[in-house]
Amino acid sequence: MALVPLAGVLLFYLIIPLFNLILKSFLKEGQLVFTLEYYVSVFTKKYYIGAIINSVLIAIISATIGMFIALFAANAANHATAKSKNKFLSILNMTSNFSGIPLAFAYIILLGNTGILVVLGKKLGIEALAHFNVYTITGLIITYVYFQIPLATLLLIPTFEGLRKEWREASQILKASSFQYWIHIGIPILLPSIFSTLSVLFANALAAYATAYALLANNVSLLPIRISEMFVGDVYQRPGLGSALSVIMMLLMVIAVYINQYLLKKVRGGGAR
Amino acid sequence: MKKVNFSKWMMWVTALYLILPLVLTFLYSFSSEWINVLPTGFTFKYYMQILPRQDFYMSLARTLLICVLTIVLAGILMLLAMYVVTVYHPKFDKYLQILCMIPYALQGIIIAISILTLYSGAKGLFGSRIIMLVGTYCIIILPYMYQGIRNALRAVSARELIEAAQILGCTRFYAFFRIIVPNILSGIIISSMLSMGIIFGDFVVVNVIAGSSYQTASMFLYKTMAQSGQATSVVIVVMFIITLILSTIAFKLRNKTH
């Protein structure tokens, strides 16, 4: 009996809505007729396919850059003294809260049309800074990288803690260089958590809404923004199309998880040989 | 030796990079005009503009109301379910875990959209925007509530404690709610604080579901952004301080329990 309330909420606010959304993407509006027209128009119209490509690209690039920086940061934190590691951890915790609209705003005052760095670039004659435009895909990627770094570092630090000092010492005794140590020992051990962190970062960037909404409104077409427009747009609403886009977004996340698991298996299989 | 220096350097560069936007927003809220590399002067003007505004407090109060409603509801639902799972059917835990983790994988936008499509035309209780908001947030914070409460239950060995209480003549219901729950209270508070931080910072759910019809703090922030840069940074500073207080409480409590 005590399970009923939770089951009810799960049913009415998670399971039925999701089924309804999937169903809507295959049904003609207001009718019980099966159709693939929404998917056809998603994949044939540049407007929608462009949003998907943009979102996937931004997610992959920002996740990769974020991961690259986080690897160095987590490694550094692992070698640091307990005191500075704690300081670093609290900075990570604090800045991982700084996302969405506040983040977009901070990047506008930093890199917007009259942003501090842009003005500085003009004064010092640094062309790349002076003509930087934050309201573009590049600007968006730079902003997304910001929220990927604390998340990735926080997820990676425990794995780095698992790298035992003895392994490093043993490899040094056997005259392995630092590079060889990382290629043959460090990275293979880290690889599983690198993959799973990457898929978290990918999903995180793919679904990021507030940052993009506040930063570019309509300059760059993005999947989450397009989806929400289909349902809450002022001009006209197209729930069928929006549902199809949502299903595609869910599929993209499932694909990311699947690729992650496939790679994990490969890595584990390779490790056994 | 060189290697250690490099990695130390790497850590502080990252830290600096992460802190820079925060510091900048903070300084911006005190600057009278900032169209050059450095601000021309410092002022409290924008704080005086925002802080006395009643609609700002109303928006904070609305966010707080939604937070409290959602967390109380999700907490009660979760505890009741955990009671059944811990006491009667431990094997249900697997299914409960899968169900509670779905929202984590789906992300806010899909959950909000799916609930909106189903209920936006509904009349009565289900169609009410506030109920929709509470329902959506409830689903979104479920993974955190589940993890937090389950870990706390494991940490106090809930099942053994209940058995011991039963031997001493307690009913199982009494044992769970009068012995176990007070013992895992800090675990519940930690998850609640985390959830509160999530709801407080949320924009996607409230923008999709309620739009401007229910102005929460983040909607207020978005509106202010179109008006004045400095005023926006004031709102960000105030909201960030509140989030920081919440996460600090959670962090302190967690350290205390370990």
**Per-residue pLDDT, A252:** 94
Please report the pLDDT score of residue A186 as a whole number: 87
Cβ-Cβ contacts under 8 Å, A228 against chain B: 109, 113, 204, 207-208
Which amino acid type is present at position B18? L
pLDDT in tens, A95-146: 988 889 999 999 998 888 878 888 888 888 888 888 888 888 899 999 999 9
Which residues of chain A are under the pLDDT cut of 50? Answer: 272-273
The whole-number pLDDT of residue A94 equals 87
**8 Å CB contact between B175 and B161:** yes
pLDDT given for residue B213 in this prediction: 83
The minimal CB distance from B7 to the residues A9, A79, A102 is found for: A79
* Mean pLDDT score across all residues of chain B: 88
Please give the Cα distance from B110 to A85 (Å, whole number): 37
Residue A176: what are its φ and ψ, rounded to 5°? -80, 145
pLDDT per residue as tens digits for the range B30-71: 887 776 777 777 888 888 888 888 899 999 999 999 999 999
Query: In chain B, pLDDT over 90 holds for what percent of residues?
Result: 41
Spatial distance between the Cα atoms of A179 and B59, rounded to a whole number of angstroms: 54
- Quick one: CA torsion of B89, B90, B94, B96, rounded to 10 degrees? 60
Closest CA to B100 of B205, B184, B186, B195: B195
C-alpha distance across the termini of chain B, in Å: 35
Closest of A150, A142, A186 to residue A165, by C-alpha? A186
Minimal Cβ distance to A75: which of B7, B76, B117: B7
DSSP-based three-state secondary structure for B215: coil
Helix ranges (H only) for A37-136 are 37-44, 46-79, 82-95, 101-111, 116-124, 127-130
B122 at interface of A, judged by CB pairs closer than 8 A: no
Q: Which residue among B25, B35, B118 places its CB closest to the CB of A106? A: B25
Contact A239, A29 (CB under 8 A): yes
pLDDT of B173 higher than 70: yes
- Phi, psi (rounded to 5 degrees) for A96: -70, -15
* Three-state DSSP class for residue B179: helix
Dihedral sign computed on CA atoms, order A129, A131, A133, A139 = negative
pLDDT per residue as tens digits for the range B3-30: 557 777 888 899 999 999 999 999 988 8
The closest of A138, A114, A111, A116 to A54, measured between CA atoms, is A138
Q: Give the three-state DSSP class for A34.
A: strand
Enumerate the residues of chain B whose CB falls inside 8 A of the CB of residue A84.
8, 11
If you classify domain B45-257 with CATH, what class do you get?
A: mainly alpha
Q: What is the pLDDT of residue A1?
A: 76
Instruction: Choose among A225, A215, A95, A216: nearest CA to A154.
Output: A95
Sorting pLDDT into bands at 50, 70 and 90, what band is B1?
very low
How many other CB atoms are there within 10 angstroms of residue A258's CB atom? Answer: 12
Q: What is the pLDDT of residue B4?
A: 58
Please tell me if residue B155 touches chain A, with a CB cutoff of 8 Å.
no
- Asked whether the predicted pLDDT for residue B147 surpasses 50, the reply is yes
Q: What is the ipTM metric for this complex?
A: 0.86
Distances (CA, A) of A84 to A81, A93, A99, A169, B10: 6, 14, 24, 24, 13
The mean pLDDT of B244-249, rounded to a whole number, is 84
Put simply, the answer to whether B25 touches A210 (Cβ < 8 Å) is: no
Alpha helices for B84-228 (secondary structure H):
93-119, 129-155, 158-167, 172-174, 181-183, 185-201, 204-209, 217-225
Phi, psi at B6, each rounded to 5°: -60, -45
Give A29→chain B minimum CA distance, Å: 12
pTM: 0.88
The minimal CB distance from B225 to the residues A10, A101, A249 is found for A101
Residue count of chain B, please give it.
258
Per residue in B192-233, pLDDT (tens digit) is 988 998 999 899 999 999 887 888 999 999 999 888 888 999
Q: Is B164 on the interface with A (CB under 8 A)?
A: no
Contact B117 A239 (CB under 8 A): yes
**pLDDT score recorded for residue B79:** 93
Just give the CATH number of A42-272. 1.10.3720.10
